[in-house]
Amino acid sequence: MKTLGSYVKKHWATYTMAIVFMLIAIVLDMFYPQVAKVIVNEVLVKRDFHRFALLLAAIVIIGVGRSFLGYFKEFTFDRNCITIGTEMRKDLFNHIQGLSLDYFDDANTGELMARVKDDIDKVFNMVGMEAMVGMEVILNVILTLYFMFSINLPLTLLPLGCMAISGVTAVLMEKKLDKVYDDISEENAELTTIAEENLAGVRTVKAFAREDYEINKFMKHNQRYYDLNMKEATTLMRFYPVFQLAGMMLPVACAVLGGIAVIRGHMDLGSLTAYIIYSRNCTWPMEELGWITNDFSSSLASLKKIRKIYKEHSTLATTENPVLVDRIDGNVKFDHVSLKFGDKQILTDVSFELKAGKTLGIMGETGSGKSTIVNLLQRFYDPSEGEIFLDGTEIRDMDLKQVRGASAVVMQDVFLFSDSIEENIRMGRREEMTMDEIKSAAQMAQASDFIEKMDEAYDTVIGERGVGLSGGQKQRISIARAISKHAPILVLDDSTSALDMETEAEIQKTLDGITGVTRMIVAHRVSAVRNADEIIYLQDGAIAERGTHQQLLEQKGLYYRTYLAQYGATEEEEVSA
């Protein structure tokens, strides 16, 4: 993770410029009481009006200059913090995208959304408004105290004491708020997760009439979020009066004590006027101290959450000089591959070799490890034991983008983006794919008929995750997306499960006509794999049977029983057939 300082250092020039604007503005603030002092002593007391116009002009110049410099200062700080926030959000998103799939098996979407959006917003405020006000408070206090000491040293012990009390109060408040903001950040992630799940699965919620249950679950977390925010407000209520009381009472006390000093001849009236104005410059820093502490504590809590994500790293092995293969033909080999997550064995000693241009069928019961083979081929995970080769090169030695680019995958869980049908199909080769290729792929996937019947055809924008399309239509668009990629390996992970038998048969016929492509077909239906050059049948993560369709039928094992169950035939009928 880049440190917060590295982002700030990158924009040192504009930060320096903003600080210069701030310094000049504060110096102008320091001159204003001195001008007021001269007006009182020379004009009002001594009745000397010769320089009155000049002094008034100085006040106007100070006011105008202060306004312009304040605008440029705030604009520069705001621009920097927005830029840094954009860079931080991009870097965090890139880091999340680079994590291996096992991280996402445990992480929830709502939490990641809260980190990328809400927490980044709070952190970039730390290097924007909070940093600006913090520096302004420090510089203003230093200069103000200097001038106050120069006017009356004993009297300045009073504002110094008030500032010390405010500082101690701020530290105590920060300690109290630290845990509260940590809990608020966590609960915000929980609340976002529940909202995201319910909105994404609204059809399932309604189908099972779970509206009341989900509303109650949401309300429990909403109440918890409310309670935590009320705890924050209660904590602030306990400490803020200290800052406000100090800010209100200080100028009054300075005026009273300073007035006594004037009466006793230890101070002239002009100096008292300047001193009271300076005391007002001490007031707002004490009031701002509470706000800065509050926001700073919240920002630190968010920064901790972001750092926690940056501590996560991809579990995929990396090599300093990855092998770049000139051309991938599509030879795939699994050599004694096993995969284990904790104590759970997913795959055990899986070996097969799929030659370029050939087809491998993979069958098995749910949970037998079929999709895991696809995930390993895509290098979403690395095997616990064994090796996987692509054209004779171990995929852990290859460039990860090249490994994944070699395959076009139709996932079991079809995901379509909320975009046009054209954009969803062209995502495999977004920049170079032509419209003719898109239409050809859609035709091969038996999707062109229903697409072209839509009002805007390929420009039709589909809903989030393909809402508005049937399961079969989504699968056909997903198949078209894979076909149009023209990758040397085509992987179909139960990709025709939502299709009718006739459409599936047409797609299978089309896929069989594609030459020069290695195919890996994961399926539950015998019809999807019967023409494969080899079929492996998995049971409990291991290969239980292997062979061609006819060979497996003759073995009369697991594949044979699956065939009978799907085609409704008896053993005697199959033997006679």
C-alpha 151/C-alpha 271 separation (Å) is 7
Crossing angle between the packed helical segments 435-444 and 471-484, to the nearest 10 degrees: 130
Would you say residue 577 has pLDDT above 50?
no
Whole-number percent of the chain with pLDDT over 90: 0
In sequence order, what are the beta bridge partners of 397?
A: none
| The two structure tokens encoding residue 460 | 């039709």
Handedness of CA 562, 409, 427, 111 (dihedral sign): positive
Ranges of CATH 3.40.50.300 domains, the chain: 416-486
pTM listed for this prediction: 0.67
Would you say residue 575 has pLDDT above 60?
no
Q: pLDDT at position 401, please? A: 81
Ranges of CATH 1.20.1560.10 domains, the chain: 4-310
Q: Does 1.20.1560.10 match the CATH number of domain 4-310? A: yes
N- to C-terminal Cα separation, the chain: 65
| The two structure tokens encoding residue 275 | 């001193």
Nearest C-alpha neighbor of 289 from the set 122, 475, 133, 479: 133
From its phi and psi, is residue 506 left (phi > 0), alpha (psi between -120 and 50) or beta?
alpha
Q: Does 3.40.50.300 match the CATH number of domain 416-486? A: yes
What's the average model confidence in pLDDT over 29-47? 81
What is 377-408 written as a DSSP string?
Answer: HTTSS--SEEEEEETTEEGGGB-HHHHHHTEE
Whole-number percent of the chain with pLDDT over 70: 86
Three-state secondary-structure class, residue 117: helix
Q: pLDDT at position 468, please? A: 62
Nearest C-alpha neighbor of 360 from the set 370, 346, 375, 348: 370
What's the average model confidence in pLDDT over 510-517? 70
6, 88 Cβ separation under 8 angstroms: no
C-alpha 135/C-alpha 141 separation (Å) is 10
Strands 393-394 and 542-547: unpaired
How are the residues of the chain apportioned to helix, strand and coil, as percentages rounded to the nearest 5? Answer: 65, 10, 20
Confidence class for position 342, pLDDT limits 50, 70, 90: confident
**C-beta neighbour count of 383 within 10 angstroms:** 22
C-alpha 478/C-alpha 495 separation (Å) is 8
546, 361 Cβ separation under 8 angstroms: no
Would you say residue 382 has pLDDT above 80?
yes
Measure Cα distances from 73 to 4, 32, 79, 287 in Å. 21, 19, 10, 21
Q: What is the mean pLDDT of the chain?
A: 78
Nearest C-alpha neighbor of 534 from the set 422, 545, 294, 544: 545
Length of the chain: 577
496, 525 Cβ separation under 8 angstroms: yes
Q: pLDDT at position 272, please? A: 82
| The two structure tokens encoding residue 263 | 């009466």
Q: What is the 3-state secondary structure (H, E, C) of 465-499?
A: HHCCCCHHHHHHHHHHHHHHCCCCEEEEECCCCCC
| The two structure tokens encoding residue 411 | 């996932």
Would you say residue 248 has pLDDT above 80?
no
Residue linked to tokens 């109650």: 216
